[in-house]
Amino acid sequence: MIGLTLAMTIGLTACGEDKQNAQSADKPFAGQKITVFALGHPWTDGMKASLGEFENATGIDVDLQVFPEEQLQQKLAVQFTSQAGTPDVFTYRPFMEKLYYDMNGWTEPLDFYVKKDPEYGFDDFSKASVDGSMVNGKLMSIPLWTDQFVMYYRKDLLEKNNIPVPKTLTELEAAAKRLNDPANDFYGFVSRGQRNALVSAAASFIYSEGGDFIVDGKAAVNTPEAIRGFGTYAGLLKNYGPKDSLNMGWPQAAALFAQGKAAFYVDAAALYNNTTDPEKSLVADKVAFAAFPAGSAGRKPYAIAAWALAMNPKSEKKDAAWAFMEWSSNKENVLRIQQSGVPGARDSVWAASEGIEKFPADLAEAIKLTMSIGVDHSVPQVMSVTEARDIVGSIVVKAMLGEDINAAAETANKELQAIIDSDSKK
């Protein structure tokens, strides 16, 4: 489906026009070519499947170039550093890169475009995904696919031991403790323990205790709230996780859970297929999902726009570029692509029965709840995100190694503040 907004645009013809003018009105961008750089991802595959329909309807020739993540980032940096007008449209990770791209003038504000036609329904995008696409009050990208932090658990073990599904972090810790059996290579809890990777997992613990990485422009990882969150996460990994937790990123943690060696696993909802696909998981029929448990400040898991579409401010074909962005992110396309298993950013696709049929029912419910309450970032919002993640992750690592968590948080806070101060001078 082309989508109502675009269909109205491309369907306009004027009475009395000659054939050539009518054809021009039918294809308002006839003869124009735009270049799109996109991540190699199921979203891109789904979009590409109906790209010919868009090209035929608009007259736009789309040069779609698809790259792996690292190569995409390198290509974009080369193009933008040289002030190139292409790509006209590109995919990027706002939660990691939006501040850096904005500082360098690599993204075009989109507020004007999304307000042009109410039929586009921009207010249908989830609040968290939109908030995560904003920089200084300006919309810098259109959310494409999303991610939410949820709890995976072994429903058979909870039923067997008469343990209710944990709704609070206190209940999660108690259940993990009860089911932990390291002597038999079984653990109550598993998640990311690598210094850099763990930060996005620890984030929801921090938020749910009332903390954040940065508050009012100042580093805040040394606050009592943040330390409680870090401490809870470190304690779960240290006391009820495998001994090699510090070496685990999401692939290792998900694999351990899929091997039937852990009772609880917290991570991104997008990883669910690693635990429910019988070809990948020994416990595929025993896995269930729930919203992330509440801390002292309630349930505050992250809900982010994992990747988004942005426009090159140097593009000479911005109207055509927006036509592509509008089409690829309209309600019909988001629903169609979500039906292949890619979690969309529009609320309407999660309210539609056909939008959730590819997802386990309890996971869909957890995602919907998380989208309505979630925090729009999973890492510190600075330009040097990788460096900041290493700094913040050290708090959990040091706590797991038996060092004083308060001292670790103080050190990390000073280092994070130095990054913030450096950003302000750029």
Same domain, 383 and 355: no
Q: Annotate 1-40 with b (16+ C-beta within 10 A) or e (fewer).
A: ebbebbeebbeeeeeeeeeeeeebbebbbeebebbbbbbe
| Per-residue pLDDT, 25 | 55
Same domain, 118 and 152: no
Same domain, 46 and 136: yes
Instruction: Report how far residue 187's alpha carbon sits from residue 127's, in angstroms, rounded to the nearest whole number.
Output: 36
- pLDDT tens digits, the chain, 426 residues: what are they? 454 445 444 433 333 344 444 444 578 899 999 999 999 999 999 999 999 999 999 999 999 999 999 999 999 999 999 999 999 999 999 999 999 999 999 999 999 999 998 999 999 999 999 999 999 999 999 999 999 999 999 999 999 999 999 999 999 999 999 999 999 999 999 999 999 999 999 999 999 999 999 999 999 999 999 999 999 999 999 999 999 999 999 999 999 999 999 999 999 999 999 999 999 999 999 999 999 999 999 999 999 999 999 999 999 999 999 999 999 999 999 999 999 999 999 999 999 999 999 999 999 999 999 999 999 999 999 999 999 999 999 999 999 999 999 999 999 999 999 999 999 887
Instruction: Report how far residue 65's alpha carbon sits from residue 63's, in angstroms, rounded to the nearest whole number.
Output: 6
Task: Please write the tens of the pLDDT for every residue from 353-362.
Answer: 999 999 999 9
Can you give the CATH number for the domain in which 298 is found? 3.40.190.10
Nearest to residue 149, comparing CAs of 214, 99, 199? Answer: 199
Same domain, 187 and 40: no
Give the β-pairing of 142-154 and 303-311: antiparallel
Same domain, 297 and 387: yes
Nearest to residue 236, comparing CAs of 184, 191, 268? Answer: 191
Residue finishing a domain among 372, 396, 414? 372
Residue finishing a domain among 348, 372, 396? 372
For residue 76, which phi and psi values (nearest 5 degrees)?
-65, -45
Judged by DSSP in three states, 163 sits in coil
Same domain, 133 and 76: yes
Instruction: Report how far residue 200's alpha carbon sits from residue 219's, in angstroms, rounded to the nearest whole number.
Output: 17
In a domain, 331, yes or no: yes
Same domain, 228 and 297: yes
Same domain, 72 and 165: no
Is 286:18 a contact under the CB 8 Å cutoff? no
Same domain, 137 and 202: no
**425 exposed, middle or buried (CB, 10 Å; 0-12, 13-18, 19+)?**
exposed
In a domain, 323, yes or no: yes
This prediction has a pTM of 0.92
Give residues with Cβ within 8 angstroms of 304, minimum separation 6. 95, 128, 129, 132, 146, 147, 148, 374, 376, 377, 378
Instruction: Report how far residue 31's alpha carbon sits from residue 202's, in angstroms, rounded to the nearest whole number.
Output: 50
Instruction: Report how far residue 160's alpha carbon sits from residue 173's, in angstroms, rounded to the nearest whole number.
Output: 18
Q: Annotate 147-176 with b (16+ C-beta within 10 A) or e (fewer).
A: bbbbbbbbbebbeeeebebbeebeebbebb
Judged by DSSP in three states, 173 sits in helix
Nearest to residue 193, comparing CAs of 406, 400, 402, 411? Answer: 400
| Per-residue pLDDT, 6 | 53
Instruction: Report how far residue 299's alpha carbon sits from residue 291's, in angstroms, rounded to the nearest whole number.
Output: 8
Same domain, 113 and 37: yes
| Per-residue pLDDT, 223 | 99
Total domain count, the chain: 2
State the residue range of the domain holding 316.
33-146+305-372
